[in-house]
Copies of this chain bind each other. A is one copy, B any other.
Amino acid sequence: MTEIERKLDSNGIRPTAMRILIYKYMAEKNNALALTDVEQAFLKAERTTLYRTIKTFEEKGIVHQIDDGTGVLKYALCEPGCNCEIDRDLHLHFHCNSCDKTICLTQHKIPHINLPEGFMAEDANLVVKGICDSCSAY
Contacts and interface: CB of A to CB of B under 8 A. Distances in A.
Interface of A: 67, 69, 71, 73, 92, 94, 97, 105, 107-108, 110-111, 113-134, 136-137
Nearest to A126: B126
Contacts of A73: 71
Copies of this chain, whole number: 2
A122 to B, nearest CB: 4
Contact of A118 (B116, B117, B123, B137): B137
A94 B117 CA distance: 13
B123 A119 contact: no
B108 A131 contact: no
A118 B98 CA distance: 13
- 9 interchain residue pairs of minimum CB distance: A118-B133, A122-B130, A123-B129, A121-B130, A120-B131, A120-B130, A126-B126, A67-B69, A124-B128
A114 B119 contact: no
